[in-house]
Chains A and B, each alone.
Chain A
Amino acid sequence: MKPRRSIKDPRGESLLFRRRALAGFVLIVLCLCLLVGRFVFLQVMHHDEFVTRSQANRVKPRAIPPARGLIYDRNGVLLADNVPAFRLEVVPEQVKDMPALLERLGQVVPLDPGDLDAFRKQLKQSRRFESVPLKLHLTEDEIARFAVNRWRFPGVDVVPYLTRRYPLRGLFAHVVGYVGRIDADDLERLDPKRYQGTSHVGRSGIERSYENILHGTPGYELLEVNADGRTQRVLETHAPTPGRNLYLSLDVRLQKAAEAAFEGRPGAAVAIDPRNGQVLAMVSVPSFDPNLFVNGIGQADYAALTNDPDKPLYNRALRGVYPPGSTVKPLIGLAGLETGMRTPQDTVVSTGVFYIPGQQRGYRDDQRGGVGRVDLVGAIEQSVNTYFYKLALDMGIDRFSAYMGKFGFGRPTGIDLVGESSGVLPSREWKAANFRQPWYPGETVIAGIGQGYWAVTPLQLGHAIATFAGHGVPYAPRLAMATQGGVNAAPQPLANPPSGPSVIRKPADWDVVNQGMQQVIYGARGTGRQLGVGFPYLMAGKSGTAERFSRRSEAYDTNRSTEYLATRHRAWFVAYAPADNPQIAVAAILESGAWGASAAGPIVRTILDTWLASHGGEIADAKRLSVSAAPLPPIARNAPPDAGVEDSEPVEDLPAPATSSGGTP
C-alpha cells in the first residue's frame, strides 16, 4: 500500500491549476495574436490589392450541366434522346417572401402540388444563392405569359435546358427506364459537385445503372454582372464534358416483334445470345410511356398506371416470379446424366401415377394410363412426369438443388439492371430459413417437374436456357454493349467475360439433352410439334405449364376449355436456335395461357423468325434444313385437340407437410 498515492492535495492541485490556467491563457492570447496577425496581413499589407479586387469583383461563376449520353440499340437506333426545353428557376436569396411569390407566380404559370413539393424540398437543401428549378418543361404559352409578367418576379428566370425524350415510348420502358427530377433523397447520395446545375438523374433501368457513364462532368462559365447582380456578358467558358453514349445489345426489331406477339396480354419474354450473354430482347407486357415520368408525372396519370389491374409499371421480366413448370425438365435430365444417376439409355415406365415407395399419395402423369416405357430423350419430348419424379427422388433434394443452382436459379443473374428478384430454388436450407420446417420427400418429387416451391423470373429462365444452349458456359446477362465518347468516336465495347467455367462436364450429356429438346419440336409426340414448321434451321425447345392455384374443385377434371384453363395456368415456352450451333435463346411466359406450347410457343417462334429476318434469313455455321424436311405433320393421338399439346401437370396438390410427415418412414 502506498497511502501517499491516494491522498489528494487540494492546495497543490489548486496551485497546479492556477499555473495551467495561466499557461493556457497565454497560449490562447498568442494564438489570437496570430489570428489578428493574419487580419493585419490581409487588411493592412494587402489592403490596396483587395480593394482593387473588390471593385473589379464583377465576375461570378455559373455551372454548366453536361449533356446526358444518348442510348442506342445495337444497330444505332436512338432509344433515349436529349431535346431542348425551358424551365422556371428561382434564386432563393433574391426573393423576400417565398410563399407570396409562389402564390402570385401560380396565377401566371400553373404550378401543381408535385412541382411545389419538389421545389420546397430542394430549396431546403440548396444554398441561398444557388438557383432552384421550380417548374420543368414549360409550354410556349407559359413562357410567353411569364415573359410579360417577368418584372413582377425578381429572382425568377426562364432557363433553357436539355430534357430527356424516349422516342419509342413504352417499348423500352422496362429496360432503358427513365430519368426523373432530382429530389431530396438523390441529393444525399449524389456528389454535389458533379450535379451542379443538373436537374435530372437516372431513376430506373439502364438510365439508373449506367448513371455514372451517362451523366458526364459539368463545366462552368464566368459571368460579368453589374451592380445589381444582373449578368452583362460571359467572360470565359469552360465547356462541360458530355456523358458517354451507350449502345445496348437489344435489337429494336426483336423487341417490337416480341411485344406485338403478346397482343397486350400480360407476360414477359427475354432473348439472350448464349455466346456472350448479350440480351437481344427483353419485354414486359403491358408497358407504360416513360416520357410521363421525366418532368414529373401528374397525379391522374400516375393513379391510372397504379390502379391498372395489369400493373404496367411492374417489370415482369426482371421481378415477376413464377413456377417454371416443365421448362426445367431438360436441365433436371442433364443433372441426372452429369451426376451419374442416369445413363441416356435408362428407362422408366410411366403408368399414369407415381408413388413414393411406401406412401399412399400418388403423383400423376398428365396422360391417363401413362405413355409406357421412355428414356431421357422420350421423357423430354413428351414431358413425362414420372421420369422426372423418380429422377428427382433418386437424386435427393441436396444434389438436386446443388446442380440446378449452377444454372443460376435462386439468385440474381447479375444483369446490369437494379431490382432483380432472386426467385426460389427449392432446397433444404431455403425451406429451413423460410418455414423452419424439415424437408419432405414429396416436395422433392414435385420439384422434379418445376412445381412446389420453385419460383423463377423470365430473365432467370432465359439465362438458364442460354447457359445450357452455350454448352454450359455461364455469362451474366448484359444489356450495355459499348460506350461511345462522342457521335463520331468509335464505340468501345464493354467486356463481359464468362462468370465461370462450363457447368457441363461431359459434352455427350449436352448432346443427349439437346436431342431431347429438338424432339420437342420435331418428334412424333413432341409437345411443341407445330412450332418448327417452316423454320429453316434446327430449333430446340421445351414447353411448360405451371399452375397458378391449388385445385380445390372437380371442375378442373371436367372443364377442359382453353378459356377456363387460361385462368388457372401460366404458359411458358423456352427455345434456342440453331440447335447445332445455338446463337439465340428465348424464354417467354404468358401469365394467362392455357398450355405452354400452344399459348407461349408462338411468341417464341415470332421472336426467332424476326431474329432470323434481322440476319437476312441466313445464319452462319449452322445446318440449313430443306423446308420440306423440317416439319413433321402433327400426328393424331387418341386425345382431344387440346391434349395434343398438353403439358405435364401434377395432379395432386402440394402434399401437406403434416400428412407427408406421417407417411415418411
Chain B
Amino acid sequence: MIEALYARAHRFVRRILSRPRIDLPLAFGLFVLALTGLVTLYSAGDGNLALVAGQAGRFVLGGALLLLVSRIPPPVLRGWTPWLYAGSTALLLVVAVLGEGRGSIRWLDLGIMRFQPSELLKLTMPMMVAWYLHPRQLPPGWKDIVVAGLLIAVPAGLIAEQPDLGTAVLVAAAGAFALFLSGMAWWRIGLLVGAVAGMVPVGWHFLHQYQRDRVLTLLNPESDPLGNGWHIIQSQIAVGSGGVFGKGWLHSTQSRLDFLPEHTTDFIFAVFSEEFGLVGVIALVALYAFIIGRCLWIAMEARDTYSRLLAGAIGMSFFVYVFVNGGMVAGMLPVVGVPLPLISYGGTSAVSLLTGFGVLMSIHANRKMHL
C-alpha cells in the first residue's frame, strides 16, 4: 500500500522533472530576475552570504511549488476555487479574531511557522473573480460587477483593517484586473473610477493616523526627520546619486553607511538604482515589462474564460508591485510595505509569487492548440 503510494509519488515527481510543462520565455525571465535579486541582495546585505543563501533557498522552494502547481489543470483549479477563496477569507476572519502580530494583526501562529493568510488572497482573489465571471455573459453588466465588487471588497476590507494597506491594495488590484479584462465597458470603468476618486476625502477619515502621516510626509519629507521623511529623502539621494551608469556593484555609499533604512527589503530598489544607475533601472523595468507581457500573451492563448482572466490578472497585478515599490523608492508614492518582486529579501512574497506563476505555467500547458 505504502509502496504503491510511494511509487505513484515517484512517478509524479519524475514526470514533473522530465516533462516540465513550463513556458520557456516566462521561466527565463523569472530566472534572470531571481538572479538579479540575489546579486543585488549580496551588495545590499553588506556581503552577508547567509542572507543570500536563505533567499536562494526560498527561490528553490518557490520553484518547486511552481512546478507542482503547473501540473494542476485549470479546470481542476476552477473546481477548487470557491473553496480556496472561502477558506482563505475564513482564515482572514480567524486572524481578525485571534491573530497575533505586532501593531498590526496579520499573522496566524501555526505552531511550526507563522503564516500570513492575506498572502493567500493574492492568488485566490483573482481566481474567485475569474470563477464568478467564467459562466456569465461577458462583458459583465452592473449586477455582475456589483457581485464581483463585493467578492473583492470583503477580503480587501478585512486586510486593510489589520491594518496592512499595501497588501489590501495588491489584493484588490488583482480582483479588479480580472474584472477589467472581462471586458467591463469603458464608460462603466470611468464612472467607477470617478466615484472612487470622489470617495477619497471620505476614505481619508478611515485611514489610521500613521497612514495619513505617510501621505503628508510624502508632500513634505522634512516634517518628519526621524521617520518616513528621512527614508524618502535618503532613498532619493541614493537613486539620484546613482546617475546614468551607477556607482558600480558593491559601491553604494548610501546603504553601506546606514543612511538608507530597510535596504535589503522594501528599499532594495534604491540600492540597485545607486549601483547600476538609470541603465540598470531601464533594464530591470524592461525585464518586468517582458514578464508581464508574456503573462498576457499566455492569457490570450488560454482555452477558456476562467484561465484567460486568471492569467491576465496575475500578470497585471505583478505590475502593481513594481509600480508601488518603484514609486515609493523614487519618492512618488507614500511609504507602504510592498516588496520589489523577486528582488526584495523576504520569504512569503517570493514563494507566493512563484506559486502564482505556477498557475500561469499550467494555463500555458493547457492552451488552445492552433492546428
Contact = CB atoms under 8 A, between A and B. Distances in A.
Determine if chain A interacts with chain B: yes
Interface of A: 5-8, 10, 13-14, 16-22, 24-25, 28-29, 31-32, 35-36, 38-40, 42-44, 46-47, 49-51, 53-54, 57, 60-61, 63, 93, 125, 127, 129, 184, 187-188, 193, 196, 220, 222, 225, 227, 229
A51 B240 CA distance: 7
B330 A24 contact: no
B30 to A, nearest CB: 18
A127 B262 contact: yes
Given A13-B305, A38-B327, A43 B273 contact: yes
B346 to A, nearest CB: 14
16 contacts: A17-B305, A22-B296, A24-B181, A24-B296, A28-B316, A32-B285, A32-B319, A38-B327, A39-B330, A40-B278, A43-B273, A44-B244, A47-B241, A49-B240, A50-B241, A220-B226
Interface in B247-265: 253-254, 257-259, 261-262
A391 to B, nearest CB: 50
B175 interface: no
A31 B292 CA distance: 13
A42 B236 contact: yes
B237 A54 contact: yes
Interface string B273-311: 100011001100100110011001001100011001100
A125 B102 contact: yes
Contacts of B257: 57, 225, 227, 229
A94 to B, nearest CB: 8
A6 B278 CA distance: 52
B230 A61 contact: yes
B237 A35 contact: no
Given A44-B244, A125-B102, A127-B262, A39 B296 contact: no
Interface string B76-113: 00000000000000000000000000110000000000
Contacts of A57: 234, 237, 253-254, 257, 259
Contacts of A125: 102
A602 to B, nearest CB: 52
Contacts of A127: 261-262
Interface residues of B, number: 59
A54 B240 CA distance: 9
A60 B282 contact: no
Given A16-B183, A187-B102, 4 more contacts: A17-B299, A38-B330, A44-B244, A127-B262
A93 to B, nearest CB: 6
A8 B305 CA distance: 10
A43 B181 CA distance: 35
Contacts, number: 155
Contacts of A229: 257-258
Given A28-B292, A229-B257, A35 B285 contact: yes
Given A32-B322, A39-B281, A50 B240 contact: yes
* A19, A35, A36, A57, most chain B CB atoms within 10 A: A35
Given A13-B138, A53-B237, A21 B285 contact: no
A193 B244 contact: no
A125 B323 CA distance: 28
B330 A16 contact: no
Interface string B312-353: 100010010011001100111000000000000000000000
Contacts of B261: 127, 129
A664 B159 CA distance: 59
B253 A54 contact: yes
B42 interface: no
A103 B254 CA distance: 31
A17 B326 contact: no
B131 interface: no
A35 B326 contact: yes
Contacts of B244: 43-44, 47
Contact of A50 (B138, B239, B319, B326): B239
Contacts of A13: 138, 183, 305
Given A50-B236, A54-B238, A17 B226 contact: no
Contacts of B330: 35, 38-39, 42
A-B residue pairs, 8 tightest by C-beta: A50-B240, A54-B241, A16-B183, A42-B240, A50-B241, A38-B330, A43-B278, A21-B296
B243 A47 contact: yes
B132 interface: no
Contacts of B103: 187-188
Given A43-B242, A57-B257, A17 B227 contact: no
Contacts of A25: 292-293, 296
Nearest to B141: A5
Contacts of A222: 225
Contact of B278 (A39, A46, A54, A93): A39
Nearest to A16: B183
A22 B180 CA distance: 12
Nearest to B48: A96
Given A50-B239, A220-B225, A38 B332 contact: yes
